[in-house]
Structure 1
Amino acid sequence: MRLNKNIRQTLRIAKIELSSMFYSPVAWLILVIFALLIGYDYANVFDGQLHSQSLGNNLWNVSSAIYNSWMTGILKPILRNLYLYIPLITMGLMSREYQSGSVKLLYSSPIKNSSIILGKYLAMMCYGAALMSIIGLNVLFSWLTVENFQISMLLVAMLGIYLLILAYSAIGLFMSTLTAYQVVAAIGTLAVLAVLNFIGDVGQGIDFVRDITFWLSIYGRSTSFIDGLLPSADVMYFLIVIGLFLALSIFKLNTEKKIMSMRTKVLKYSMIVVSALLLGYLTSLPQMKLYYDGTYTKTNTLAPESQKVIQNLKGPLTITTYVNILAPDYFSGLPFNRNYDLARFERYMRFKPEIKMKYVYYYHNANNAELDARYPDLNDEERARALCDISHLNFKMFKSPEEIDKMIDLSGEGYQFVRIVEQENGRKEVLRLFNDNERHPREGEITATLKRFVAKAPMVAFSTGYGSRSINNYGGRGYYLFARDLWFRHSLLNQGFDTREINLDEEKLTDDISVLVISDLKEALSEKALANVKDFVDHGGNMVILGEYERSENMNSLGALFGVHFSDGVLAHPNKLGSPVVLCASYTDEAVEKHSAFNRMQAWGYGVSVPTAVALDYSQVKDFEVYPVLVTGDSAWIEHETKDMVDGEFVCNPAAGEEEGNYAVLINLSRKIGDKEQRIIISGDSDFITNEEFGLTRPGMEVNNFEVITGSFRWLSYDAYPIYTDRIGAIDNGINLSGDWRVWIKLFFMILFPAFLVGTGVMIIYRRQRK
């Protein structure tokens, strides 16, 4: 009965507070401004999507484009500005009672202080729901009009915004209990909210302070919700903050009723705060975290292959980041960036909480040309000290070259920014940064490194001699980038493979070789080497054979093992912007159907550049299932007459046996040998994966030669490597409205709905005044 009475008192206070709130112009003014700003952003973004569709463009992931895209999404600006609205509402919750003297009546009544605070907070919950209904209106409209709208993602996002409103409201309510002046309460609330929004960047260089301020940062707690991820730690954070400030508010009223010493007040306030911080610490432990990914494509969650690798990892894992202040990327690993660096592994810690992150700081010459130009007259130690002064770092935290060399040998990594992943048994693997704009490894590279702990890396052996391309050659025609460059993201080494060279005349092709690569034979293989290869093929070994123009006679001895013939002439194709012997080969429908990587490239309109390639005739293939992967298109021909690749004139001459047609440039062959499927890739070009080709831009050609490596070697490794991290495609790719709706959408969300709120507010306030 007593509990029911307290609830009734709480509800009564909430009703009175709501009445007072909505009879005030301020509450309606905030609703109108909120509706105007959101309506303006929403109408413009939705209009842009509808306009693009009416022009015949294909839309993609419309839900994200409208709400959480980093370029056009409307929800993140709401988070940034939300703290400006709440103080105007909460400033009078208790200050008004103090100012009018009605608080004395409340104190003398049988109403509990907790009922007073909870009743007023319940009123703020209702007002927050009114604010959320404005967002909910356009979400409802999107749900009704956008094809396969991601409603679960938006419900998670709206929950995050609502929790933020509730947290702001609890803080505002507490500030209102501290003063009888509403303006002071509003300014105080605004100051506290501003501090909590920006405190996440304070003290990030100090370990103990960094964890506290990062946890206290309230703005960043909602961004994961906006992206459609519901983390239990962030939900608990908001609940703890709400509970903390409500408890402080109730205790503040208790101090008004009872006489307490300052020591008792400080002790009780401290106990409330410490309890909240302790609870926050416990709920933020990796072992305590739970997640729900509301996105259809599960973009916030590790791909299934990555999850499987993590599940198979036994025991704890330590990732030690070695930060050389003289290396180009040292800034990413500095103490004040550590929480952002840890976030890169958050999705892995979700599935393996035992992952520990460590950081070691040192200075060592890393052949940094930028520092050589900036500090030409300083030695390494002096350069390190200068950089420490610029970044306000303590030089003593950096180990000397002698100290770091005693700890670990990083010379093979060039003393660059590198992470060493180590198991409890001491086994180590290396995770690097890459020489591209993104720099840090993506999920595919991280998982490929972790997979080395649970599975043996496939060995790709490249034949040497006979003029074959070398994986140690960094020149234009070499294969160093493709095969083993430590800092090239797409190299086989960084995608989970091991690579080495092999002399076919001196070494036997053994079972530990997963793939044999033979390229660009300037000389024919010896009988011994050819017999070695034939034995490897007969036992089901997988191969990549890369031909080249003017090498057909030497390559055909290999091709004969499979029934494939390399043409004598070079493939040519009319090209106004470049050489006619540099073709843009396209993926076949059959290849696209079998390889997801090729499917994506075809959908995006990318082909593969193949310079001076020869055509492949696979009409005599008998024992293998064969299909073309790359073809030239119908206007290509095999040029027999012109030999000058630079200044020669390329014209299709039927009299010389040249015939326009669609020629195969790369083919896949497979067959069953025992319980294994043997897989062979044969190409009429060796240049399309050279160091030079990866760095070139071909005018008039939309090409991506990286993905042909990804798709081909994934097929050769039986879908084990590279790690497949693609998600299912978005299905909200259209709007079920015509372009004629654009004007009406803008009219409603920008004018009519805000006008409706204005009219409703004026009517309610006017009727109140008449009474």
Structure 2
Amino acid sequence: MKKIFNIARLELSILFYSPIAWIILIIFTIQAGITFVDLLEAREASQQLGNDLKGLTMDIFGGGRGFFAAVQNKLYLYIPLLTMGLMSREISSGSIKLLFSSPVTNKQIILGKFLSMMIYGLLLIAVLLLIIGIASFSIEAIDIKFLLGGLLGLYLLICAYAAIGLFMSSLTSYQVVAAVSTLAVLAALNFVGTIGQSIDFVRDITYWISIEGRANNFLNGLISSKDLLYFLLVIGFFLTLTIMKLNSGREVRSTITIASRYALLIVGVLAIGYISSLPALNGYYDTTRFKDKTLTDNSIELLEKLEEPITITNYVNVINSFAHLGSPKWRIFDLQQFDQYTRYLPDLEMKYVTYYDSTLNSRDNTPMTLEERGQRAATAYGFDFEKALKPEEIREKIDLRPEENLFVRTVEHKGKTSNLRMFYDMYTYPHEAEISAGIKRLLQDPPVIGILTDKETRRINLTGDKHYKDVTNTLTSRYSLINQGFDIDEVSLDDPKPIPHDLTALVLADPMEEFSKSELQKLRNYLKQGGNLLIAGEPGKQELLNPLLKELGLEFTPGTLLQESDKYELDLIQATLAEEADFIHLDFSDKDVISLPGAVAINRIDTTDSFEMTPLLHTNPKQVWNRDTPFDLETDSISFNPSTESRNYKPVAVAMEKKVGEKNQKIVVIGDADFMSNGELGRFNLRTKNSKFVTKLLNWFSDYEFPIDTTRPEPIDNKILVSQEKISWIEKFLLGIMPLSLAFAGGFLLISRKRN
């Protein structure tokens, strides 16, 4: 061991008695400093403009555009310059012969030189530690453990690059050739992951070999045993190759023996790497403060209830807009989206079924036949068209027309199935909430929301602004109820059967006609049996719903609520959550409102009933008033008249509960039916929480079973503690004082050596 340290010390002295080590250290410090200062300065400027900042540790250091990623993207430029002379210098000068004749083994030579690179790598990490130290004083409650995990990933990457560079340096006597060759090998190791994507076994091998993105998990908060072992195997592999290369100069062996040894090494490394990457053998450590890279407790508890392994079958329509994500080229990426689940379900089986069928939209209006479209798409995305099922073949297996022949996954457990879908948003893939909801549907009956379809009420299958398709059953909307675990059913009063009293909730929204006595009686019977109900009214329709509301001791007040505003229509009510409504677990900021375009107030007319009533939504008593006379917002000049009108202090939404037998009956009455309409959920000119309000409301109806609660604690590193002036001083230190100090130290050492 002493000889290894002596060789390392000698190598470091040679390195630092040349300008290259100092120049790289100076450039590295300047580039890292520029990156950090730019990121910090941008966040501080945003904070000064009044924008809310959240999770600054991850925001500044993590992600594809963060500090760690920027450092990682430049490391491959530095290491080949450091390693190019490690062995090539010895070969070109002839000193390699002296080493061979000295009392040191080839193993000691290589390990000593590699140790020198490890120590130099620690100097680079020390620069990053200095920046992290500055960040700890600049960012409130910075997540140190997360940052240390990122440094570990970068250091392992430096060591891997150094091992590769050391091997390439042993192959040539020319230092420039060694440097270029190292860059070529690094490029090859990045490219190899794209080879053999259409063959499962080959794809797994080439993906494991690829070094591209290997440190990403470390940089983003997750240390995994497979990534850690990968770096150790790569380092060990190239160091062993280097030792074997040197031994070939001392030993005489047959070509077959040499080839066998190399083959055994390669096969052994690949075998260990492949086996260690199997889900059942993986270990993980989440370095984030609130375990953001790990499933929430609710999801983990759910997975523990599974009695058998689950199977996910992915049905990929090659002519669908999501087709490329199910292609062989994207297979690894697609599988990675379920990594958090395979950590707890190592036996999770993923199957892929490719087919072609109508897209059930205007894209079908082309002169090409369905088969021609399928063949073109398959060629473009890299599918084997011969293996793609024809429309009649896929329909024999499963009819996906109700899913609009989109990219859909069926999750199967003990004969039951549920669907996971892809979404038209920036994330596309289902997240924990959607996946866990799909799994939970396999373990228990899903909640059913009934939508009353009589009297021209709001519909779930229409896309007009007034209707409820987006919130209930839009396949490609993440927050649609069908993607959060609910079933949606249409209910008609014309059906001779009674309304099922076990509905999670019956929604009665904005009827256009008066209910008959028999229809009202059917609704009363539903209430008497303890059925849950959500009633949503509209201005001018109070009399259509008040007969039913009287059964509950309520009424919609006459008139229309108006709210003073310079920006919006006067009938756009910006309601806020009542303090008493904390049971729906909706966190509000001062800027968040529930928008109600056209609303009426709710009045309690009977306080003797057994319902316990809780206000849900309030209006602003300083801005909102009730007008009970006709008006036209487009032609009339309207303002509050204190002599004839009064401000509104009544709630616009209430929740009611009471015991009916063994059941806890729940009723919600809202003075607006647009609060969950297609048009209102798509509002962009006002920051609202209508979507979350609807979700939390139905979560309460389902006794908090669905949607799955996957919320995490809010980040606490949300504030920049330094001003622009202090950031300027940080910039001067990192870009001026530090590099000049290194340059002075390097210059002094080099001049002293030259004089000696």
Which structure 2 residues correspond to residues 291-330 of structure 1 after superposition, within 5 A? 291-330=284-323
Which structure 2 residues correspond to residues 331-730 of structure 1 after superposition, within 5 A? 331-370=324-363, 372=365, 376-423=366-413, 425-504=414-493, 506-591=496-581, 593-596=582-585, 598-599=586-587, 602-603=588-589, 605-618=591-604, 620-621=606-607, 623-633=610-620, 634-644=622-632, 646-656=634-644, 658-671=645-658, 677-697=664-684, 699=685, 701-730=686-715
Q: Name the CA distance, whole Å, in 1 between partners of 2:607 and 2:243.
A: 84
The letter for the 2-side match of 1:341 is: D
Q: Name the CA distance, whole Å, in 1 between partners of 2:457 and 2:664.
A: 27
Q: Name the CA distance, whole Å, in 2 between partners of 1:702 and 1:435.
A: 21
Query: Paired residue for 1:218, among 203, 211, 223?
Result: 211
The residue number in structure 2 matching 1:9 is 3
User: Structure 2: 5+ residue runs without aligned partners?
Assistant: none
**Contact 1:79/1:219 (<8 A) preserved:** no
| CA-CA distance at 1:12 after TM superposition | 1.4
Q: Name the CA distance, whole Å, in 2 between partners of 1:165 and 1:405.
A: 53
The letter for the 1-side match of 2:553 is: G
Q: Name the CA distance, whole Å, in 2 between partners of 1:33 and 1:64.
A: 25
The letter for the 2-side match of 1:565 is: E
| CA-CA distance at 1:47 after TM superposition | 2.6
Q: Name the CA distance, whole Å, in 2 between partners of 1:377 and 1:113.
A: 70
**CA-to-aligned-CA distance 1:18-41 (integer Å, 9 cap, x gap):** 111221211111111100100111
The residue number in structure 1 matching 2:37 is 43
Change (3 A) 1:385 1:717: same
**CA-to-aligned-CA distance 1:658-689 (integer Å, 9 cap, x gap):** 21234422222334567654432110011222
**CA-to-aligned-CA distance 1:108-164 (integer Å, 9 cap, x gap):** 223122111111111111011011111110111222342211000001000000000
Q: Name the CA distance, whole Å, in 1 between partners of 2:612 and 2:503.
A: 23
| CA-CA distance at 1:235 after TM superposition | 0.6
Change (3 A) 1:286 1:468: same
| CA-CA distance at 1:589 after TM superposition | 3.9
Q: Is it true that 1:762 corresponds to 2:747 in the alignment?
A: yes
Q: Name the CA distance, whole Å, in 2 between partners of 1:407 and 1:311.
A: 30
The letter for the 2-side match of 1:61 is: G
Q: Name the CA distance, whole Å, in 1 between partners of 2:165 and 2:607.
A: 78
SS at 1:453's partner residue? Answer: helix
What TM-score does the superposition give when structure 2 sets the normalisation length? 0.94
SS at 1:688's partner residue? Answer: coil
Q: Name the CA distance, whole Å, in 2 between partners of 1:198 and 1:619.
A: 73
| CA-CA distance at 1:412 after TM superposition | 2.0
The residue number in structure 1 matching 2:56 is 62
Which structure 2 residues correspond to residues 150-229 of structure 1 after superposition, within 5 A? 150-229=143-222
Change (3 A) 1:689 1:336: same
Change (3 A) 1:483 1:58: closer
The residue number in structure 1 matching 2:17 is 23
SS at 2:261's partner residue? Answer: helix
SS at 2:153's partner residue? Answer: helix
Q: Name the CA distance, whole Å, in 2 between partners of 1:53 and 1:582.
A: 31
The residue number in structure 2 matching 1:732 is 717
Indicate the larger mover: 243-252 or 504-513.
504-513
**Contact 1:573/1:636 (<8 A) preserved:** yes
| CA-CA distance at 1:540 after TM superposition | 4.1
Q: Name the CA distance, whole Å, in 1 between partners of 2:294 and 2:499.
A: 41
Indicate the larger mover: 342-351 or 581-590.
581-590
| CA-CA distance at 1:643 after TM superposition | 4.4
Query: Paired residue for 1:100, among 93, 100, 116?
Result: 93
Change (3 A) 1:319 1:434: same
Q: Name the CA distance, whole Å, in 1 between partners of 2:612 and 2:240.
A: 73
The letter for the 1-side match of 2:233 is: I
Q: Is it true that 1:745 corresponds to 2:730 in the alignment?
A: yes
The letter for the 2-side match of 1:642 is: P
The residue number in structure 2 matching 1:4 is none
The letter for the 1-side match of 2:43 is: Q
Matched residues, number:
753
SS at 2:428's partner residue? Answer: coil
**Contact 2:486/2:706 (<8 A) preserved:** yes
Indicate the larger mover: 91-100 or 31-40.
91-100
| CA-CA distance at 1:607 after TM superposition | 2.1
Q: Name the CA distance, whole Å, in 2 between partners of 1:83 and 1:437.
A: 31
Indicate the larger mover: 718-727 or 272-281.
718-727
| CA-CA distance at 1:213 after TM superposition | 2.3
| CA-CA distance at 1:441 after TM superposition | 2.0
SS at 1:669's partner residue? Answer: strand
Q: Name the CA distance, whole Å, in 2 between partners of 1:276 and 1:69.
A: 30
Change (3 A) 1:526 1:723: same
Q: Name the CA distance, whole Å, in 1 between partners of 2:708 and 2:637.
A: 45
Change (3 A) 1:618 1:250: farther
The letter for the 2-side match of 1:653 is: N
SS at 1:478's partner residue? Answer: coil
**Contact 2:358/2:364 (<8 A) preserved:** no
| CA-CA distance at 1:193 after TM superposition | 1.0
| CA-CA distance at 1:105 after TM superposition | 2.1
SS at 1:312's partner residue? Answer: coil
**Contact 1:364/1:415 (<8 A) preserved:** yes
**Contact 1:318/1:421 (<8 A) preserved:** yes
The letter for the 1-side match of 2:687 is: E
Q: Name the CA distance, whole Å, in 1 between partners of 2:50 and 2:564.
A: 30
SS at 1:446's partner residue? Answer: helix
The letter for the 2-side match of 1:694 is: L
**Contact 1:635/1:662 (<8 A) preserved:** no
What CA RMSD, in Å, does the superposition of the two structures yield over aligned residues?
2.3
Q: Name the CA distance, whole Å, in 1 between partners of 2:492 and 2:711.
A: 37
Change (3 A) 1:341 1:503: same
Q: Name the CA distance, whole Å, in 2 between partners of 1:185 and 1:740.
A: 45
SS at 2:248's partner residue? Answer: helix
Query: Paired residue for 2:282, among 279, 282, 289?
Result: 289
**Contact 1:566/1:615 (<8 A) preserved:** yes
Change (3 A) 1:675 1:147: farther
Which structure 2 residues correspond to residues 127-138 of structure 1 after superposition, within 5 A? 127-138=120-131
User: Structure 1: 5+ residue runs without aligned partners?
Assistant: 1-6
SS at 1:561's partner residue? Answer: helix
